[in-house]
Amino acid sequence: MSITRKVSRLAVLTLAAGFMAAPVLAQPIHLEDVAELSGGGATVGTNFKNGADLAIAEINAKGGILGHKIEITHADSQSNPGVARALVQKALDNNPYVLLGPGYSGSVKVTESLAAKAGIANIMGGEAAELTQTGNEYVFRTSFGQQSTMPKVARYIAEEIKAKTVAVVWVNNDFGKGGRDVINAEFAKRGIKVVADLSTEAGQVDFAADVLKVKNAAPDAVFVYLNEDESARALKELKRQGVTVPLIGETTLTGQKVIDLAGGAAEGALAHVGLTTDAPIPAVQEFRKNFAAKYNYVPDHNGIKGYLAIYVIKAVTEKMGKVDPANFAKTLHGMTIRAKDEPGILMDVTYDEHGDIDRQGFLVEVKDGKQVVKTILPKMVP
Amino acid sequence: MSTLISLIVSGCATGAIYALVAIGFTLLWQTSQTINFAQGEFVMLPAFFMLAGMNMGMPFWLAILVGTAISVAILGAAFKRALVDPMLRHGALPLAIATMALSIMMKEGVKEFYGAEAQPFPSLIPAIDLHFLGATISTQSLGLLAVGVAAVLALQYLLNSTSVGRQMQATAQNPNVARILGIPVERMVMYSFIINAILVSVASVLVTPLYLAKFSSGETLGLAAFIAAIVGGFNQVRGAILGGILLGITDNLAATYISTQYRSAVPLALLIAVILFRPQGLLGTAEERTV
């Protein structure tokens, strides 16, 4: 064998060995997201999308998950459950690793069975209590469900505010109706009388008649459970008509967007918040800084939801040691993800067998145009 | 009693918003037989022109002027030349459908360039609350009402008491005869589109602090204004004020005394009743083609 031939063989073998030893160019992990990018829920979906994109950019910059880069397709449900269902079906036809969204409970209600049928885990943003109570093994929350939050709100109204009567102002959709049903039951348990139970429309602009009813009912506190834009308008009208009793809500009421839109009218509003970018937690503050730097605005809790959804996928995949859509849901049930192991998860979180989460929460108040955390409410199970 | 006064006052304020937008419907119909289903979006867009001006460092007053000028050029002149002129010769229906398409394009365009989130918008009128017979009245609401009434009076004067106004009406009634009489038909039609563009810019400045600047804010507004225009009388500018205020008050009374859950059905019931019993609208006059 000539020297030239030997060198050629050696070169070929070296190249072959090199190809085998080097990490194979891994297939990207494909995610599909169906979000409310327009319509009444545009704030919700846009924040969720941006949060997810930020997490993906961070993970991809560090080499992806187990060497797999993440790619995502966002689809706009137009905040319409019918459109959401069609888009989820289309998304599932693309065989995603995990389905993200929708954010609206009404949309999740009509789409979650599709993901379950396809055997694809669905990490969504809906908060209506019923979403995880149907025996669906593939649906997972990114925030507390109403059955977890409303008892805490009702307890605060009963024990801290010591209210005997309340007015409940809620938006007439699945999210609002679900929250209203749970909190009214909690009020009944604690002997608090609901003196005004007011349904409002999504997109409603004029709250004069509703607030007048609240005023005439003279409650000790008002529970406001509306979407972002409507929360701002309701707060303005409540202030305009001189309602001075405590205004309490859940997450949305004290979101930064609502504070900005309502101006001074949001001052003093209280809310139980499962996720807030004002949380005095360094990892959350780092997320907030990075998000604001990328998108030029401060995100609300939906931004954190989108961000966490991606880091949940990372943690589960790394625990499995492989990209295995079939075992994803099984692995996530009962799993605890600790922030010290996966900093992107921001706070320790535990998923139960229904896909509900246990995580610390916050009681916040709006002061000087900002959400201020009054109390940190610890995880139910440390 | 104070509850009823409050409901009527706040209903008038909301109604004034509808009226301000509805005036445009009646004006375009009266002068060029055009139904513009993008009228709600026409109110939404100038606010974004103004916000863009403010983001470029302009003071609010200058942003209003620049935004209005751009609106006159795009929503007045360009709208007429690029969409109305080519479509109107095929009849009112194709044009109406074209304006529906335009409204979708405008919403999507704003969403694409400005994002889907609502933006706060400064108020030209300071938000001071006045108390009257137990009711709280905002100066913003009073301002809206005053501007709405002033706009109607000015338009009534223009259409009925000036030469240009009469030429505009003659153009609307029969463009061929108007042309034979020496009326510059094209110019008259253009005037009505420019007036509409100025009106929607004024409405945008007044309404956006309440509605918030959002790509979808024209949806509800356009529908409510359309209903107000039909209820009041599509061929009477002053009908827009009556229709708007009636709609605002009915909505509030329905929410308080009937049900908050069925409130949005009440304006539609009012619309059906008007179509059944007085199809030309409360102040409208019967004409060959009734909307």
Q: Considering CB atoms only, which of B116, B216, B256 is closest to A212? A: B256
Check pLDDT > 80 for residue A40. no
Give CA–CA dist B148/B142, Å, rounded: 10
| Residues of chain A with C-beta less than 8 angstroms from the C-beta of B107 | 38
pLDDT score, position B211: 81
Number of C-beta neighbours around residue B20 at 10 A: 30
Please name the residues in contact with A185: beta carbons below 8 A apart, sequence gap of 6 or more.
none
Supply the mean pLDDT for chain A: 90
pLDDT score, position B290: 43
Check pLDDT > 90 for residue B162. yes
pLDDT score, position A23: 46
pLDDT score, position A83: 96
Give CA–CA dist A338/A358, Å, rounded: 12
For the segment A156-173, the average pLDDT, to the nearest whole number, is 93
| Residues of chain B with C-beta less than 8 angstroms from the C-beta of A218 | none
If you measure CA to CA, which chain B residue comes closest to A171? B261
Beta strands A221-225; A270-273: pairing state = unpaired
Check pLDDT > 50 for residue B291. no
Please name the residue ranges forming H helices in chain A.
3-21, 42-61, 81-93, 105-118, 146-159, 174-189, 208-217, 228-240, 256-262, 282-295, 301-320, 325-332
Number of C-beta neighbours around residue B61 at 10 A: 9
Q: Residues B205-225: pLDDT tens digits? A: 988 988 889 888 888 889 999
Q: Considering CB atoms only, which of B14, B248, B264 is closest to A201? A: B264
Q: How far is CA A147 from CA A55, A133, B106, B145, B245, in A?
A: 28, 10, 41, 45, 42
Q: Residues B163-172: pLDDT tens digits? A: 998 898 888 7
Domain boundaries, chain B: 2-277
Q: Which CATH number fits domain A147-273: 3.40.50.620, 3.30.1330.200, 3.40.50.2300, 3.40.50.300?
A: 3.40.50.2300
Check pLDDT > 80 for residue B133. no
pLDDT score, position A119: 95
pLDDT score, position A234: 94
Distance between terminal CA atoms of chain B? Answer: 38
Whether the Cβ atoms of residue B270 and residue B262 lie closer than 8 Å to each other? no
Q: Do domains A29-144+279-359 and A147-273 have the same CATH topology?
A: yes
Q: Which CATH number fits domain B2-277: 3.40.50, 3.30.70, 3.30.2310, 1.10.3470?
A: 1.10.3470
Whether the Cβ atoms of residue A83 and residue A111 lie closer than 8 Å to each other? no
| Residues of chain B with C-beta less than 8 angstroms from the C-beta of A263 | 120
Q: Residues A319-343: pLDDT tens digits? A: 999 999 999 999 999 999 999 999 9
pLDDT score, position B251: 87
The residues that bridge with B174 in the sheet, in sequence order, are: none
Q: Residues B34-61: pLDDT tens digits? A: 889 999 999 999 999 999 999 999 999 9
A378: preceding bond cis by omega (within 30 degrees): no
Q: Which comes out higher in pLDDT, residue A338 or A14?
A: A338
Domain boundaries, chain A: 29-144+279-359, 147-273
Check pLDDT > 80 for residue A29. yes
Check pLDDT > 70 for residue A220. yes
pLDDT score, position B230: 92
B264 interface with A at CB cutoff 8 Å? yes
pLDDT score, position B29: 84
For the segment B265-282, the average pLDDT, to the nearest whole number, is 88
- What 3-state class would DSSP assign to A126? coil
Q: Residues B241-266: pLDDT tens digits? A: 899 999 989 988 888 888 877 887 88
Instruction: Please calculate the CA angle B272-B32-B228 and round it to the nearest 5 degrees.
Output: 25
B279 interface with A at CB cutoff 8 Å? no
pLDDT score, position A70: 97
Q: Considering CB atoms only, which of B107, B118, B252 is closest to A208? A: B252
Beta strands A270-273; A361-367: pairing state = antiparallel
Region of poorest pLDDT, from A5-14, B16-25, B126-135: A5-14
Which of the residues B2, B17, B136 would you substitute to probe the A interface, choosing the one with the greatest number of A C-beta atoms within 10 Å? B136
Chain centroid to Cα B287, Å, comes to 22
How distant is the Cα of B236 from the closest Cα of chain A, in angstroms? Answer: 26
Tokens of B186: 């094209």
Which of the residues A233, A235, A240 would you substitute to probe the B interface, choosing the one with the greatest number of B C-beta atoms within 10 Å? A240
pLDDT score, position A266: 94
B134 interface with A at CB cutoff 8 Å? no
pLDDT score, position B262: 81
Q: Which residue in A147, A131, A141, A175 sits closest to A41, CA to CA?
A: A175
Q: Considering CB atoms only, which of B3, B138, B211 is closest to A240? A: B138
Instruction: Please calculate the CA angle A30-A31-A34 and round it to the nearest 5 degrees.
Output: 145
Report the CATH fold assignment for A29-144+279-359. Rossmann fold (3.40.50)
